[in-house]
Amino acid sequence: MSDIACIWDLDGTLLDSYGVIVSSLREVYAEKGIFLSEKEILNAAINESVAAFIKKMEVKHGLPFEELKGRYSLISGSKLADIKAMKHAKETLESLRKEGVLNLVLTHRGTTTKTVLENLGLSTYFEEVVTSKNGFARKPNPEGLNYLVNKYHLKRESTYYIGDRPIDVECANAAGVKSIMFIPPTSVAKPTGKETLVVHDLLEIVDVVNED
- Whether the pLDDT of residue 2 is over 80: the answer is no
Tens of pLDDT, residues 156-203: 999 999 999 999 999 999 999 999 999 999 888 899 999 999 999 999
| Domain of residue 50, CATH code | 1.10.150
Q: Are 29 and 58 in contact (CB under 8 A)?
A: no
Whether residue 67 is found in the same domain as residue 163: no
Total domains in the fold of the chain = 2
Whether residue 67 is found in the same domain as residue 100: no
Residue-level pLDDT at 63: 94
The model's confidence at residue 48, banded by pLDDT at 50, 70 and 90, is: confident
Mean predicted lDDT score pLDDT of the chain: 95
What is the pTM (predicted TM-score) of this model?
0.93
Range of the domain at 43: 18-81
d(C-alpha 7, C-alpha 17), whole Å: 19
**Kind plus residue range of the DSSP H or E element containing 172:** helix 166-175
Whether residue 110 is found in the same domain as residue 52: no
Whether residue 175 is found in the same domain as residue 130: yes
Q: What sign results for the dihedral spanned by CA atoms 164, 166, 168, 172?
A: positive
Task: Identify residue 167 by its one-letter amino acid code.
Answer: I
